[in-house]
Structure 1
Amino acid sequence: MPLNEPDWIASDPSNHFIFNRLVTFLDETAASPERIEELVVDASIELSSAGTQQPTVDQYRTESRYLFAILLVVVQQLDPDAVQQDHLIRLVLKLRDSPVPTSVTQTIDQHDLDSEDMNRNLDNFIHVWGAFEFDAPLHPRLHDRPKNIDFETDRPPWRQQRGQYLSATSWANLNAFMAKLHTAAPDVEQLDLWGLFAMIEALEQPLSPAELEDAAPPAAYWIIYAGEELKQNDFPYAYYDNGPGTNRLPWSKGVLWDGQHAFNPARWEFWLQRFKAIAERPENSEEVRDVARRAFDFGSSLE
């Protein structure tokens, strides 16, 4: 299936190059899967060197965010079970290992020394993800919740037009990718939080059948692709306690928080039983029932 290239990418030569290089990478890996390691290295080198030569830290940070935003535009169009998502995971891991240019380290403010590790920590990927989340089909939308402020007053081009949101399929595809990335790089802090958030959104608040069409698949994919990791994780970063999911801020721990951190066996079992109930609800589509059933079956196998 041809991938859609939004105008903000197609109209800018630098953005178009990145998009086209990602498409070429996917085509090459599909045609020659035995060359995956070589192709990952080649693509990462080209993408890493495509921006400003000898950039400052601000230039490098901005260009890195554009790269990851374009990559996520591609990801949201890829079926979670398609091997193309897995190939892009390998590319992100290779980009993560790329050292920041010397010019970047020379222009880092003394109070911003963590920027030296921005690639290793996937800081720019996580920043871009947060922008996509504000356009996600959550109920209610994230920017409509009490105490939530959309700080993107100067909206980057990868944000949706005001009043428009990502489709349920796009958001589910993105969550599947994030879950796979967490499994592949569990040492990256904060990735797992979006798994917790997906569970809170879909399973820990009352939703109509129509709302579950949006919320259930992202949560299910977290169990399917990162269930073992989530089951072992105590989510040590979550600390806000804002009541039900409809009021959550980033870093919310949810109403089923128990003990020092966010996870406990009773909560895991609650999630699985909610997936089982969704899988048996005739009001929901066959697609949603199927992915909920997959999540229940896989999650149960981990007990």
Structure 2
Amino acid sequence: MTKALQNDWIWASGTLWSELTMLGPSTRECWNDAPGCGSGFSVPEIHAWANLNAFIARLTRADLAGFWVYAIWAIRDALEVERKDYEPAHKPERAAKLLDAYVPAAAAWIIVMGRELWEKDEDLTPKNPNQEDPARGGALWKGKSAFCKERWDLWATRFEALSGMEDLMTETREIAAEIFARMEEIKRTAAP
């Protein structure tokens, strides 16, 4: 190991993996490689995106990392944005292709952490007005930047609507229907 590397902040604790120092930056770097950023919207890319979201959800559920806001990001992209064909950011892609990529990733959060997301009631509105609002809603969410029951209800309604959207892949529609049913079951069986 070089002197420069020994003095790097990564090694300040004397250990690397026991504290997972690079987990946050590494996770964010992977997150930034969402579908459409390199490999387009191929089926392997869609599955990799859902798997990454499931992995991040598992890290969060195990309390190894506090990546709760990633749930909002994934679910917002799938359910809180009105997708229109040929969005400027994804000109060659149709809205259905975006949803085919984003819906399974959002579903991964409900599969792994559904009960925890239902129970989480936290306002994430920044205290400083100059601070960015990472938990803000998409155009379809008019509520606060928070985990709350009202946002959960919007998500469930959107999964239900997407389950009947003929332009989506059959797999995406089936996932949306399954997740809607799971969300309704979680809500129904939740302690009052």
TM-score by length of 2: 0.72
CA distance in 1, matches of 2:100, 2:57: 19
CA distance in 1, matches of 2:12, 2:27: 23
CA distance in 2, matches of 1:126, 1:293: 32
The one-letter amino acid of 2:8's match is D
Relative contact order (alpha carbons < 8 A, sep ≥ 6): 1 or 2 greater? 2
User: Could you tell me the percent identity over the aligned residues?
Assistant: 27
CA distance in 1, matches of 2:111, 2:39: 29
Matched, 1:251 2:138: no
Q: Relative to structure 1, is the Cα distance of residues 129 and 235 closer, same or farther in structure 2, using a 3 angstrom cutoff?
A: farther
Runs of 5+ consecutive residues of structure 2 not aligned to the other structure? 84-94, 188-192
Could you report, residue by residue, the CA deviation over 1:228-280 in whole angstroms, capped at 9, with x for unpaired residues?
1112224555639xxxxxxxx78242243635x51222211110011111112
Could you report, residue by residue, the CA deviation over 1:146-167 in whole angstroms, capped at 9, with x for unpaired residues?
xxxxxxxxxxxxxxxxx54581
Q: Which residue of 1 aligns with 2:80?
A: 204
CA distance in 1, matches of 2:30, 2:122: 22
Q: Which residue of 1 aligns with 2:71?
A: 195
Q: Relative to structure 1, is the Cα distance of residues 266 and 134 closer, same or farther in structure 2, using a 3 angstrom cutoff?
A: same
**Poorly superposed stretches of 4+, deviation over 6 Å:** none
Where do residues 20-39 of structure 1 align in structure 2 (5 Å cutoff)? none
Could you report, residue by residue, the CA deviation over 1:139-182 in whole angstroms, capped at 9, with x for unpaired residues?
xx6xxxxxxxxxxxxxxxxxxxxx54581111111101111222
Runs of 5+ consecutive residues of structure 1 not aligned to the other structure? 1-51, 62-102, 107-115, 142-162, 241-248
CA distance in 1, matches of 2:74, 2:107: 9
Q: 2:123, 2:147 within 8 Å by CA — same for their partners in 1?
A: no
Q: Relative to structure 1, is the Cα distance of residues 117 and 253 closer, same or farther in structure 2, using a 3 angstrom cutoff?
A: farther
Q: 1:221, 1:295 within 8 Å by CA — same for their partners in 2?
A: no
SS of match in other structure, 1:302: helix
Where do residues 115-194 of structure 1 align in structure 2 (5 Å cutoff)? 119-120=18-19, 122-137=20-35, 163-164=38-39, 167-185=45-63, 188-189=65-66, 191-194=67-70
Q: Relative to structure 1, is the Cα distance of residues 184 and 105 closer, same or farther in structure 2, using a 3 angstrom cutoff?
A: closer
RMSD, matched Cα:
3.2
Q: 2:135, 2:146 within 8 Å by CA — same for their partners in 1?
A: no
The one-letter amino acid of 1:268's match is W
